[in-house]
Amino acid sequence: MQKELRLLTRLFNSDKIKMKALQISTPFLPVAPDLKYGGSERVLYLLDSELNKLGYSAGVVAPEGSNPASKLYPTIPRAIGVDDVLDKAKNSAFTGFALRADHAARAIKYANELEGIDLVHLHDDNILPFDFLINRPSLVTLHSDIDSFWDLSITPFVGKRKSKLVSISQSQKKIYESKGHKVDYVVYNGVDENVFSLSDKKHPYLLSLGGINPVKGQRDAIEVGKRTGLDVILAGNIGNAGYFETEIKPHITHDLTKESDKLGTYLSLPSASPKVVYVGPVTDVQKAPLYSNATAFLMPIHWEEPFGLVLVESMLSGTPVIAYNRGSIPEIVKDGTGIIVPAENLEEMIHSVNQIGSFSPEECRRIAAQEFGKSRMAHNYLAVYEDILNQKN
């Protein structure tokens, strides 16, 4: 039975059903409050924190070293690690498979043997081929793009999985269903609005935050800065070394990777513009002021982004977004929060920078908190949990 967003816009009826949900993370990164990397792990941490406050969390299954708000049920001795994921040479295929399999086996064992669990929420789609072994109702959130997911022409048994599939945007849902997958629900990711705040002053720079990769479009962001006369601050890990060395590094005027105070160090640089400043990976503490002090946030993506957490983080900081019309962008960037330009239309993105001054930081934050705040996400998932458990009864 297909479930649309209308199901999820209502508040969860806490008097109707009581439950405990177990969250199962990936083996790649720990679940912790402040990661420099990781999308699904960050979302899982926040979701579990909210469910724990409401009394619906049964804990988190994740690698040792994780620090969730609820109880940790550890699997492998350490997370495989972002370096292992980005550089396959550091982790042999056999070792990678062994660690993933060990994590999956321990996760299923916890799901079946722990007491007081009503529902299992998977955030690791590697477990899907084995989900028939889970003896409780289950669902999996699709944090990956379709190219990283199971191909039904090769692994048709995944199409017979018992877990309900949850997309993180209508765009992602459409793409998955075009490949034969049945998506049961759509729930937008949430962001902790308390981490981000407004600034009293905007500075003349454009911000781009994300893994350095051709699909993220940092080269376009650099060109926007040069053509508008504004500085560009690039933040994020190097996801594609070749792209960074040939397309990004030659344009960098200042490298602040080793600096802890990213914004403060940038503001101390000579005033001559336009500068291209690379600050490296950033924590929440480091990136919050980068967001709130920016003139605008650039999202010149060249792929169908399933959901951009950075978009919401910027909007919560009162900084409007300028983004190419790809993937989930039209679902996230609402009126009052930014400008959507035609895909790969660099000239239009450059022109849009001049229109940013008309946006209200307060209104931008209000809309983002209402649509994508942590409480909204938690209650939408509780509505999904309720529906799944009602189908069981």
Q: Say if residue 46 is in the same domain as residue 159.
A: yes
In sequence order, what E strands does the chain have?
A: 21-24, 57-62, 72-74, 119-122, 138-141, 164-167, 185-186, 205-209, 231-235, 254-255, 276-280, 296-299, 321-324, 338-341
How far apart, in whole angstroms, are the C-alpha atoms of residue 364 and residue 377?
19
pLDDT per position as a tens digit, 182-191 = 999 999 999 9
Q: Is the pLDDT of residue 264 over 50?
A: yes
Residues 260 and 299 reside in one and the same domain:
yes
At residue 37 the predicted structure's pLDDT band, cuts being 50, 70 and 90, is low
What pLDDT does 93 receive? 56
- pLDDT, mean of residues 47-58: 96
Domain that holds residue 292: 193-371
Q: Is the torsion defined by CA of 336, 342, 343, 346 positive or negative?
A: negative
Whole-prediction pTM:
0.90
Segment 59-76, tens digit of pLDDT: 999 999 999 999 999 999
At 391 the pLDDT is: 87
Question: Are the beta carbons of 236 and 281 closer than 8 angstroms?
Answer: yes
The pLDDT score that the predictor gives to residue 99 is 86
**Statement: residue 3 has pLDDT above 60:** no
Q: Are residues 44 and 102 in the same domain?
A: yes
Match 């900081």 to its residue by tokens: 317
- 28 and 161, same domain (yes or no): yes
147 and 199 fall within a common domain: no
By percentage, how much of the chain surpasses pLDDT 70?
A: 90
Same domain, 302 and 260: yes
Calculate mean pLDDT across residues 139-157.
91
- 144 in the same domain as 15: yes
247 and 121 fall within a common domain:
no
Question: Within this chain, do residues 21 and 116 fall inside the same structural domain, yes or no?
Answer: yes
Q: Which of 120-124, 151-155, 297-301 has the lowest mean pLDDT?
A: 151-155
Q: Has residue 58 got a pLDDT over 90?
A: yes
Whole-angstrom distance between the N-terminal and C-terminal Cα of the chain?
15
Do residues 291 and 268 lie in contact, with contact meaning Cβ atoms separated by under 8 Å?
Answer: no
Same domain for 262 and 322?
yes
pLDDT of residue 17 exceeding 80: no
Model confidence band, residue 39 (pLDDT cutoffs 50, 70, 90): confident
Number of domains in the chain: 2
Q: Which residues of 327-348 are buried (b: 16+ CB within 10 A; e: fewer)?
A: bbbebbbbeebbbbbebeebeb
Length of the chain: 393
Residue 185 shares a structural domain with residue 111: yes
Average pLDDT over residues 358-373: 96
pLDDT at position 160 is 85
Burial of 209 from C-beta contacts in 10 A (0-12 / 13-18 / 19+): buried
Same domain, 205 and 106: no
The average pLDDT across 190-199 equals 95
pLDDT bracket for residue 38 (50, 70, 90): low
What is the number of H-type helices and E-type strands within the chain? 14, 14
| CATH code, 105 | 3.40.50.2000
